[in-house]
Amino acid sequence: MSLEVEVLGRVDPHAPGTALPLAAAEVRAGFPSPADDYLEGQLDLVAHLVPHPSATFYLRAKGESMKGLGIFDGDLLIVDRSLEPRSGSVLIASVDGELTCKQLGYIGNRPYLLAANEAFAPIPLNGRDCDLWGVVTHNIHALAAGVAR
């Protein structure tokens, strides 16, 4: 089925937040500019990335079928079960008993799960046993070499 996922766990809505310093300056992706010497405040990444903790869980991506959307092997996916999928949503679904990550799309007026890598064929949903697990809201992947996954 191409990009598989590994279930890592659910978000604990009762866990205390971990706020980290948030710099007030913006960072440019072009030429460097002098940094401001003050902080805007604190940022709790879970509070920022997980609006529905009781409906959210984490998965680890496995495979190459979604690399065109920036989802690579080993990436951490944040999945929200409370969201309604729309055309273009990246989904976690069980198709014929196999868990996969794909983008919801339509060919004609029939629903398909679409890979973001042309080496993988669209998966028609008509006539298949398909259960939606949730909508992928964020993708986290390490850029620095040697960063633990």
**Other CB atoms within 10 A of residue 115 CB:** 25
Q: Which of 33, 62, 67, 102 is catalytic?
A: 102
- The number of C-alpha atoms within 13 Å of 62 and in the hemisphere containing its C-beta is 11
Q: Which of 2, 65, 67, 94 is catalytic?
A: 65
Contact 92, 126 (CB under 8 A): no
Name the percent of the chain in helix, strand, coil, to the closest 5: 5, 45, 50
82 classed as catalytic: no
Estimate to the nearest angstrom the gap between the alpha carbon of 97 and the chain centroid.
Answer: 21
102 classed as catalytic: yes
Q: CA dihedral defined by 95, 99, 100, 106, rounded to 10 degrees?
A: 20
> Side chain identity at 123, as an amino acid letter?
I
Residues with catalytic function: 65, 102
